[in-house]
């Protein structure tokens, strides 16, 4: 087990390392002069100012030198400053990160609470009208764009019924974005759960449990559900990653002040230091949380734990 | 009165592609403390027959469409679900082929062993655990007190099958159904498991039904043998009788395909040629006709039923020709020498 | 002299394929998902081709009706804030949707399949390097890759399309790679290799045709993913720019009039959902028809 976890951590570090390289190269892939593009919208920049920015970003040096400079700075917690306003990028991101995490995690909870039981019942009632209608609902569900679902929920619950605020930053404002993101992914999770439960239900050990004369509820709760839930935990990592990706869109629908909203703004403003910082933080969060969830999985699955 | 008496059992599977004739008009009995071997190729309906007896076939798509299964004076097919559950794992146990997949990988052996003890014998946790340890020791698992906390994958294949057997014996059954319990194991372990079951059968006074595709395995084990083909019983005879004078061409074929130790070098391995019929498109006439070297016209139109061989009351065969197996085997042996 | 071996194996595969294809088509035509999904896709294609005939108005003409007119018999889907006919805009938008879906999938499929083919076929350090890279991209998620690509290229519909295409490359690479590994160990391939077939021939004549079916399934579902992602980018303002009748962009523009004119956001959203549903249904049906064992 220790070997598996070590391997997992090493591959995570590798991913983050590749990200730092990709982020350094990113600015050089921009067609044309990145510094010119960054200031295309502001009229009052002189050529001297542009040259100053260029050397400040290290763009006048060889790429490998830029990379070591950038690495050296981020290892000291210096992610640079925004192009307009000169605010420290790391601080901007870290202030907003808890909001994004709160959104992603509460959405993950909703996804699981809705998707897993639906998939479970569909599998147990395989081939019946219940299965057919649940899975028809699921394929419709995965086809609905999250941003549109968000707007529709907002229309019903905020504008028509007035139960929830349209946007803002307190707990009440988290409800609609989390429900939107959670429901948008619940459909996919219900499909995954169904096929994983179908697999469990067709296993030989289910027959063994029935051959012992156990009541059906016991067969299901002890033998099917436990094995099925282990599979569900196994997909948590990937689902969290999807939540983080989905959060970028949903934050913008509800003006939820997370790093996704900041990222879209900085792409508009061509604020490359912020974009770079965002990609790094996003990748790090995804990698770290995935590793934690994978360790949780290893810990609850005796097949891996004792091997 | 026999312990188990199956009459005209018929099981069908209704799939999207068609109806599978899995078990076709199967009748047989098992006496108290008797060991009966059921032999046949995979897909011959031997497991399906016993799963039908236990009412463990998946339903849907499976359905027992006909028959009667008398066990200790009651028809299992008429019992309510709670009533049949009270018998399963208690009066009748079943153990399965691959102990790796037949044991739940995420539950400890203790949990899996004690759950039927607690349900059927109404013991508390501590007593059930003691009983489980005793069972494990009985089936020859060393350091049972410690090993009981382990998960199935921490045991070797042979040990896992011993755990499975311990589970089957948990509540002192009258009948143990063993569905190819040694197929997944290597030869030396196979022999150990056979010996173990023989010993336990004597000690516990139970009857055993042993399902296998390996006729030679039954030589030291069974009192009586049923040969199944395409969901039917085609021959039924006491062990010695079946080995010495098989009367169904299929049995004859199976016997000729067994390499005998004394003639191992030149043993001409002659498996039965051809494929069994498609159970979804059940043939008219005798299902073996297409592969049978003794086929006559009648075989293609009429399906023979299981009838006693004239002078032997315990020997029955479903064949129009009934070749003289003893003579055929004798000739084959002479040629081999 | 050695030719007959390869030819023989070729013909037997071809024969098996043709027989399978009849079965496959039969299963496909029986499936309700295929009928539903196929009809949706057909309607979309017909709408896109005959957009000028179907649309009653010019999609960009201002003031064909009063601004923010609710849906009525003349303006079926109502009008927007500039008095443009929403129905006409949506009809023309179907062209952009199809275009984006097909081009994006084309990009990811071409690059992804090539990557997977080369990695699986060549092996060695090339395999390790390519598949490691694919793994890293995979852990970034499609959204992040697409955002990074748009950040580099700048916001526009074409760039969004390219970004979405890039973001799905790892997917196709993995599927192809897995399929190549399976095919590489089959007899026909070893036979062709033994008679000294050229690498390019081996790859394109032998391996590619045999791994086509999983790729077709992924590509069909891929169109729905691409449509969703591209419309999300347009919604965020990073894709199509006004006055383009792209559905995601229309939806975003309608947000400002959300309270007064909910139809501006309702219809484009519905259209995206139905399109995506169509390709998803078709993909599901194809998967089931190609691999009946998988059916549950």
Give the pLDDT score at A93: 93
Interface probe for A, chosen from B48, B55, B104, B146 (most Cβ of A below 10 Å), is: B104
CB atoms within 10 A of CB A145: 24
Strand partners, B95: B178
Three-class DSSP category at B181: coil
Model pLDDT for residues C56-65, shown as the tens digit of each residue: 888 888 877 7
**A226 in contact with B, Cβ within 8 Å:** yes
Residue B134 burial (10 A CB sphere; 0-12, 13-18, 19+): exposed
Tokens encoding C54: 């179907």
> Are the C-beta atoms of residues B95 and B181 closer than 8 Å to each other?
yes
Interface probe for B, chosen from A126, A201, A212, A216 (most Cβ of B below 10 Å), is: A212
Strand partners, B63: B12
User: Which run of H or E residues covers position B314?
Assistant: strand B312-317
Give the pLDDT score at A167: 65
Three-class DSSP category at A100: helix
Give the pLDDT score at A193: 92
Q: Nearest by CB to A214, from B103, B115, B164: name it.
A: B115
Running along chain A, 307 residues long, what does each successive block of 10 average in pLDDT?
Answer: 85 90 86 75 70 77 84 86 84 93 95 94 89 93 93 87 72 88 93 90 90 88 87 87 92 91 91 92 92 85 75
B221 contacts: CB under 8 Å, gap ≥ 6 = B35, B37, B194, B197, B198, B210
**B174 in contact with A, Cβ within 8 Å:** no
Model pLDDT for residues C160-196, shown as the tens digit of each residue: 999 999 999 998 999 889 888 888 877 777 777 777 7
How far apart, in whole angstroms, are the C-alpha atoms of residue A111 and residue A100?
A: 16
Model pLDDT for residues C74-105, shown as the tens digit of each residue: 888 888 888 889 999 999 999 999 999 999 99
DSSP A238-274: HHHHHHHHHHHHHHHHHT--SHHHHHHHHHHTT-HHH
Model pLDDT for residues B53-84, shown as the tens digit of each residue: 999 888 778 888 988 999 988 998 988 888 88
Of the candidates B161, B156, B133, B128, which has an alpha carbon nearest to the alpha carbon of residue B146? B133
Give the pLDDT score at C17: 47
Model pLDDT for residues C117-168, shown as the tens digit of each residue: 899 888 889 998 998 888 888 877 888 899 999 999 888 999 999 999 999 9
**How near does any CA of chain B get to the CA of A206, in Å?**
8
Model pLDDT for residues A119-165, shown as the tens digit of each residue: 999 998 888 899 999 999 999 999 999 999 999 998 888 888 877 77
Q: At what angle do helices A226-254 and A272-300 cross, to 10 degrees?
A: 160
Strand partners, B208: B35, B176
Q: Which phi-psi region, left, alpha or beta, contains residue B286 (left: φ > 0; alpha: ψ -120 to 50)?
A: beta
Q: Which phi-psi region, left, alpha or beta, contains residue B221 (left: φ > 0; alpha: ψ -120 to 50)?
A: alpha
What is the 8-class DSSP label of residue B223? S
Give the pLDDT score at C202: 77
Work out the pLDDT band at B156, boundaries 50, 70, 90: confident
How far apart, in whole angstroms, are the C-alpha atoms of residue B47 and residue B34?
A: 19
How far apart, in whole angstroms, are the C-alpha atoms of residue A77 and residue C42?
A: 54
CA atoms within 13 A on the CB side of A26: 30
The DSSP bridge pattern shows strands B35-39 and B224-229 to be parallel
Give the pLDDT score at C6: 31
The DSSP bridge pattern shows strands B74-75 and B92-95 to be unpaired
Interface probe for B, chosen from A213, A219, A231, A307 (most Cβ of B below 10 Å), is: A213
A256 contacts: CB under 8 Å, gap ≥ 6 = A99, A103, A167, A169, A173, A174, A177, A250
Tokens encoding B87: 């018998």
How far apart, in whole angstroms, are the C-alpha atoms of residue B162 and residue C130?
A: 47
**How near does any CA of chain C get to the CA of A189, in Å?**
15
Per-residue pLDDT at B218 exceeds 90: no
Tokens encoding B43: 């897909």
Q: Nearest by CB to A213, from B60, B89, B101: name it.
A: B89
> In chain A, whose CA is at the least distance from the CA of C153?
A30
Residue A211 burial (10 A CB sphere; 0-12, 13-18, 19+): buried
Give the pLDDT score at C20: 67
Q: How many Cβ contacts (< 8 angstroms) between chains A and C?
A: 120
Per-residue pLDDT at B327 exceeds 60: yes
From chain C, the residues in CB contact with A264 under 8 A are: 236-238
Of the candidates B25, B22, B21, which has an alpha carbon nearest to the alpha carbon of residue B7? B25
Q: Which of residues 219-258 of C touch A (CB under 8 A)?
A: 224, 228, 231-232, 235-238, 248, 251, 255, 258
**A209 in contact with B, Cβ within 8 Å:** yes
Q: Nearest by CB to A145, from C33, C136, C269: name it.
A: C269
> Are the C-beta atoms of residues C28 and C272 closer than 8 Å to each other?
no
From chain A, the residues in CB contact with B93 under 8 A are: 211
How far apart, in whole angstroms, are the C-alpha atoms of residue B38 and residue B221?
A: 12
**How near does any CA of chain A get to the CA of C155, in Å?**
8
Interface contact B96-A303, CB threshold 8 A: no
> Are the C-beta atoms of residues C268 and C251 closer than 8 Å to each other?
yes
How far apart, in whole angstroms, are the C-alpha atoms of residue B49 and residue B38?
A: 10
- Average pLDDT of the segment spanning C34-47: 93
Model pLDDT for residues B300-314, shown as the tens digit of each residue: 888 888 888 877 778
> In chain B, whose CA is at the least distance from the CA of A300?
B106
Tokens encoding A44: 């009052």
CB atoms within 10 A of CB C113: 24
B311 contacts: CB under 8 Å, gap ≥ 6 = none
Interface contact C144-A11, CB threshold 8 A: no
Model pLDDT for residues C219-262, shown as the tens digit of each residue: 999 999 999 999 999 999 999 988 889 999 999 988 888 888 88
Q: Which of A278-287, B286-295, C12-21 has the largest mean confidence? A: A278-287
How far apart, in whole angstroms, are the C-alpha atoms of residue C125 and residue A193?
A: 37
> Are the C-beta atoms of residues B89 and A212 closer than 8 Å to each other?
yes
Q: Residue A192 — φ and ψ, nearest 5°?
A: -65, -45
Tokens encoding A42: 């502001």
Write B79-84 long-range contacts (CB < 8 A, 24+): B81/A216, B82/A215, B84/B55
Residue with tokens 């929830």: A164
Residue A291 burial (10 A CB sphere; 0-12, 13-18, 19+): middle
Model pLDDT for residues C110-120, shown as the tens digit of each residue: 999 999 989 98
Residue with tokens 């074929």: B253
Tokens encoding C155: 């916001």
> Are the C-beta atoms of residues B164 and B189 closer than 8 Å to each other?
no
Q: Which of residues 147-176 of A touch B (CB under 8 A)?
A: none
Model pLDDT for residues B227-257, shown as the tens digit of each residue: 998 888 999 989 888 888 888 888 888 887 7
Residue with tokens 């990073």: C238
> Are the C-beta atoms of residues C179 and C211 closer than 8 Å to each other?
yes
Q: Residue B32 — φ and ψ, nearest 5°?
A: -55, 130
Interface contact A211-B107, CB threshold 8 A: no
How far apart, in whole angstroms, are the C-alpha atoms of residue C101 and residue C40?
A: 15
Of the candidates C245, C213, C276, C230, which has an alpha carbon nearest to the alpha carbon of residue C80? C245
Interface probe for C, chosen from A267, A287, A294 (most Cβ of C below 10 Å), is: A267
Q: Alpha helices of A30-161 — where are they, by DSSP H?
A: 34-38, 47-56, 63-75, 89-124, 129-143, 146-153
Rg of chain B (C-alpha set)? 21
Model pLDDT for residues B20-34, shown as the tens digit of each residue: 888 988 999 999 889
Give the pLDDT score at C58: 84
């Amino acid at each position: 087990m220790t070997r598996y976890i070590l391997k997992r951590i090493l591959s995570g570090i590798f991913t983050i390392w590749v990200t730092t390289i990709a982020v350094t190269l990113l600015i050089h892939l921009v067609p044309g002069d990145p510094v010119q593009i960054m200031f295309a919208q502001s009229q009052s920049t002189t050529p001297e100012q542009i040259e100053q920015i260029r050397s400040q970003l290290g763009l006048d040096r060889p790429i490998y030198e830029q990379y070591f400079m950038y690495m050296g700075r981020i290892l000291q917690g210096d992610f640079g400053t925004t192009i307009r306003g000169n605010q420290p990028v790391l601080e901007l991101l870290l202030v907003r990160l808890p909001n994004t995490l709160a959104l992603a995690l509460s959405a993950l909870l909703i996804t699981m609470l809705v998707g897993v039981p639906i998939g479970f019942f569909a599998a147990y009632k395989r081939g019946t009208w219940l299965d057919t209608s649940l899975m028809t609902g699921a394929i419709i569900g995965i086809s609905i764009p999250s941003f549109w679902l968000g707007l529709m929920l907002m229309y019903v619950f905020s504008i028509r019924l007035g139960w929830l605020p349209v946007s803002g930053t307190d707990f009440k404002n988290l409800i609609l974005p989390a429900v939107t993101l959670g429901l948008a992914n619940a459909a996919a999770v219900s499909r995954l759960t169904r096929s994983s439960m179908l697999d469990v239900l067709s296993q030989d050990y289910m027959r063994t449990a029935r051959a012992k004369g156990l009541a059906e509820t016991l067969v299901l709760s002890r033998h099917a559900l436990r094995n099925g839930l282990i599979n569900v935990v196994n997909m948590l990592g990937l689902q969290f990653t999807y939540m983080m990706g989905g959060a970028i869109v949903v934050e913008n629908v509800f003006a939820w002040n997370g790093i996704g909203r900041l990222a879209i703004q900085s792409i508009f403003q061509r604020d490359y230091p912020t974009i770079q910082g965002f990609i790094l933080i996003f990748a790090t969060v995804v990698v770290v949380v995935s590793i934690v969830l994978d360790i949780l999985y290893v810990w609850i699955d005796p097949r891996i734990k004792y091997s | 009165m026999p312990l188990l008496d199956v009459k005209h059992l018929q099981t069908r599977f209704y799939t999207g592609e068609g109806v599978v004739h899995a078990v076709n008009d199967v009748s047989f009995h098992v006496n108290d403390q008797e060991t009966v071997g059921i032999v046949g190729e995979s897909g011959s309906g031997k497991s399906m027959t016993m799963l039908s007896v236990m009412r463990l076939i998946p339903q849907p798509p499976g359905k027992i469409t006909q028959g009667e299964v008398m066990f200790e004076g009651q028809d299992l097919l008429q019992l309510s679900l709670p009533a049949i559950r009270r018998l399963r794992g208690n009066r009748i146990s079943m153990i399965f082929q691959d102990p790796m997949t037949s044991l739940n990988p995420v539950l400890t052996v203790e949990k899996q062993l004690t759950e039927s003890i607690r349900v059927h014998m109404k013991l508390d946790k501590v007593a059930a655990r003691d009983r489980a340890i005793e069972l494990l020791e009985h089936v020859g698992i060393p350091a049972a007190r410690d090993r009981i906390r382990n998960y199935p994958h921490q045991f070797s294949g042979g040990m896992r099958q011993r755990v499975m057997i311990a589970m089957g014996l948990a509540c002192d059954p009258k009948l143990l159904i063993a569905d190819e319990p040694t197929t997944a194991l290597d030869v030396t372990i196979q022999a150990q498991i056979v010996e173990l079951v023989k010993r336990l059968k004597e000690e516990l006074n139970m009857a055993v039904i042993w399902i296998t595709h390996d006729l030679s395995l039954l030589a030291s084990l069974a009192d009586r043998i049923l040969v199944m083909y395409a969901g039917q019983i085609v021959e039924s005879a006491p062990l010695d009788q079946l080995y010495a004078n098989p009367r169904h061409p299929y049995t004859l074929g199976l016997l000729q395909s067994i390499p005998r130790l004394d003639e191992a070098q030149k043993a001409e391995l002659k498996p039965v040629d051809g494929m069994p019929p498609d159970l979804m498109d059940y043939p008219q006439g005798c299902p073996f006709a297409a592969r049978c070297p003794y086929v006559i016209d009648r075989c293609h139109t009429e399906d023979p039923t299981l009838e006693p061989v004239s002078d032997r009351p315990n020997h029955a065969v479903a064949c129009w020709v009934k070749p003289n197996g003893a003579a055929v085997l004798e000739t084959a042996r002479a040629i081999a020498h | 002299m050695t030719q007959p071996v390869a030819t023989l194996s070729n013909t037997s595969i071809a024969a098996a394929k043709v027989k399978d294809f009849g079965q496959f088509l039969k299963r496909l035509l029986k499936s309700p998902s295929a009928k539903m999904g196929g009809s949706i896709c057909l309607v979309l294609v017909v709408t896109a081709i005959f957009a000028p005939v179907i649309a009653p108005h010019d999609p960009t003409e201002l003031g064909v009706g009063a601004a923010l007119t609710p849906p009525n018999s003349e303006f079926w889907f109502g009008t927007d804030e500039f008095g443009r006919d929403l129905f006409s805009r949506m009809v023309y938008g179907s062209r952009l949707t199809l275009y984006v879906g097909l081009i994006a999938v084309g990009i990811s499929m071409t690059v992804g399949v090539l990557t997977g083919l080369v990695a699986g076929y060549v092996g060695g350090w090339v395999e390790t390097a390519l598949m490691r890279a694919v793994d890293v991209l995979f852990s970034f998620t499609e959204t992040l890759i697409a955002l990074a690509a748009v950040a580099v290229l700048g916001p526009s519909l074409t760039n969004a399309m390219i970004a979405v295409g890039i973001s799905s490359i790892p997917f196709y690479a993995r599927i192809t790679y897995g399929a190549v590994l399976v095919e590489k160990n089959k007899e026909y391939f070893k036979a062709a290799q033994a008679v000294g077939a050229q690498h390019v021939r081996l790859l394109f004549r032998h391996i590619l045709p045999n791994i086509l079916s999983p790729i077709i399934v992924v590509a069909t579902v891929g169109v729905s993913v691409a449509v969703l992602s591209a419309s999300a980018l347009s919604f965020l303002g990073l894709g199509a720019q006004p006055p383009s009748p792209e559905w995601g962009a229309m939806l975003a523009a309608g947000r400002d009039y959300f309270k007064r004119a909910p139809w501006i956001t309702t219809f484009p959203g519905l259209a995206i959902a139905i399109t995506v549903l169509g390709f998803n249904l078709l993909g599901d049906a194809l998967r089931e028809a190609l691999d009946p064992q998988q059916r549950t």
